[in-house]
Structure 1
Amino acid sequence: MKTLVQQLANYATYHRDPRNIATHFVGVPIIVLSVLILLSRWSVDIAGIAVTPALVVFIASSIFYFKLSLGYGLAMFIIHGALLAVASTFATASTLAWLGAGVGVFVVGWIIQFIGHYYEGRKPAFVDDMIGLAIGPLFVVAEMGFLLGLGKKTQAEVEAIAGPVRRREVNA
């Protein structure tokens, strides 16, 4: 399995334009939310716990993120846990409300993503490697941390491989 830095650096090579990264701050979380909404509708009772496909995805992704990094894994667990809680509120909504929210948010999220990749001039990372679908949310959390001054060592290691985020030149 690739390391945290290898995963982030590979993903980052597709995301060096600051406008693309900015669209990911919005698009990726709402795509994750939409998938959790769509997977939250059906459940099986196991020992008194309503186990949904959304919960299974949450647990599997949490294990993946914790294997990469305890700190980032904890951040992802908290964020995805909050998204799972929001998504689960749609499980009991009418079919139209549940499906409309899930599909509608999904489409909006991907439109935002493709706008970002238009600025980047590159296809999304998952086109070349499906693991990009799992790394995208982690990338957003890491980039937000970098902006807040956290994870400087990780940021330096990622940028040593992927290069720095491009600065936009302002015409005077």
Structure 2
Amino acid sequence: MKTITEHLIGYAAYHRNQRNIITHLIGIPMIVIALEILLSRPTWFIANLPISPAIIVSALAALFYLKLDRPLGILMTLLLGLAVWLGSTVALLETHLWLSWGIGLFVVGWIFQFIGHYFEGRKPAFVDDIMGLAIGPLFVVAEVVFMLGLKKELHHEIEAHFKN
């Protein structure tokens, strides 16, 4: 398994333009929330606990992020938990509203992505490596963490790769 540094270097190679990064800061959360909304139906009850595809996918993603990096994994787990809560709340709406929010956020989020890659002049990372779909949300959170001056060593390792 690749390290967090290797995953983020691979993803960052497709995201060097600041305008592209900004569009990702908007678009990727929209896509994640849209997926949580759309995957929040159906819900099954196991031992009186509600289980949906959103919960299953988020739990698997959280385990992946936790394995890569404990502090970022904890943050990602909290954010995914918040997204699951939001998705399950929207899933309680009438079907047309649930689908409108889910599909609408998904489409608009991807429009932001493709605008960003227009600025970048490069295709999205997932085209060459499907793991880019899982690393994208982590990249966005890591970028915010870096902007806050945290995880400096990881940030320097990533940026040093592009100075050579």
The bucket for the TM-score relative to the shorter chain is: over 0.9
- Look up the match of 1:167: none
Distance 1:66 1:2 in 2: 13
CA contact (8 A) 1:12 1:162 kept: no
Q: 1:126 to 1:163 in 2, by over 3 A?
A: farther
The normalised TM-score by structure 1 is 0.93
Match in the other structure for 1:140: 140
The one-letter code matched in structure 2 to 1:27 is G
Find the counterpart in structure 2 of residue 156 from structure 1: 156
Q: Deviations over 1:34-75 (max 9, x none)?
A: 001000010111111111000001100000000001001001
Partner of 1:12: 12
8 Å CA contact retained: 1:13, 1:163: no
SS of the residue corresponding to residue 101 of structure 2 reads helix
**Post-superposition shift, 1:163?**
4.5
- Range moving further from structure 2, 155-164 or 25-34: 155-164
Change beyond 3 A, Cα 1:119–1:64: same
In 2, are the aligned partners of 1:7 and 1:135 still within 8 Å (CA)?
yes
Residue in structure 2 matched with residue 80 of structure 1 by the alignment: 80
Give 1:44-123 correspondences, 5 Å limit. Answer: 44-123=44-123
Q: Secondary structure at the match of 1:89?
A: helix
**Structure 2: segments with no counterpart, 5+ residues:** none
User: Percent identity between the aligned chains?
Assistant: 52
Change (3 A) 1:150 1:95: same
Q: Using a 3 Å threshold, how does the CA distance of structure 1 residues 9 and 49 change in structure 2: closer, same or farther? A: same
Shift in Å, 1:162: 3.8
Over aligned residue pairs, what C-alpha RMSD do you find? Answer: 1.1
Is the CA contact (8 Å cut-off) linking 1:39 and 1:53 kept in structure 2? yes
**Count of aligned residue pairs for this structure pair:** 164
- What is the TM-score when the length of structure 2 is the normalising length? 0.97
**Partner of residue 37, structure 1:** 37
Per-residue CA deviations over 1:1-40 (Å, capped at 9, x if unaligned) read 0000000000000000000000111000010000010000
Which of the pair is proportionally richer in helix? Answer: 2
More relative contact order, 1 or 2 (CA 8 Å, 6+ apart): 1
